[in-house]
Every structure is written in C-alpha cells, then in structure tokens.
C-alpha cells in the first residue's frame, strides 16, 4: 500500500505563473523525493508602477512516502 503526503508551498518568479510553479517543484525536490503532483491552489501577482513584477503561486505538492 502506498501513502501519499501533501505539503503546501509558496513560490514566486519574475517571469510567469508557470515559472513560479516550476520553481515550487524545483525547490521542493531539493528535500523531497518521489514528487507525484502539483496542485495550484492560488495565484497572486505583485504590481509596482502599474506593472507586474512578481508572480506567486500557493501550491500543494504531493509525494510518495517510502
């Protein structure tokens, strides 16, 4: 029987939400093995001088427990 654990992370990028999601997986993979999925729960953009300067995602990372 497999057990899946879910953690919640916040990641950001100056490029796009896609890049922020990629950063979430990349950073989580530094300390977690067997990542199986990423669920984007929320997205946010930081605006300065009428321009988006940061894209943020609040994501749930699912991974198998060994």
Residues 49-58: pLDDT tens digits? 999 999 999 9
Q: What is the CA radius of gyration of the chain?
A: 13
| pTM listed for this prediction | 0.87
Using one digit for the tens of pLDDT, what is the confidence trace for 3-59? Answer: 999 999 999 999 999 999 999 999 999 999 999 999 999 999 999 999 999 999 999
Q: Which domains does the chain have, with CATH numbers?
A: 3-65 (3.30.1660.10)
Among residues 24, 20, 21, 25, the alpha carbon closest in space to that of 35 is found at: 25
């Amino acid at each position: 029987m497999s057990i899946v654990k879910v953690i919640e992370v916040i990641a950001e990028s100056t490029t796009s939400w896609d890049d922020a999601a990629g950063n979430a997986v990349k950073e989580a993979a530094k300390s977690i093995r067997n990542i199986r999925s990423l669920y984007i729960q929320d997205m946010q953009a930081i605006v300065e001088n009428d321009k988006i300067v940061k894209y943020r995602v609040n994501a749930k990372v699912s991974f198998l427990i060994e």
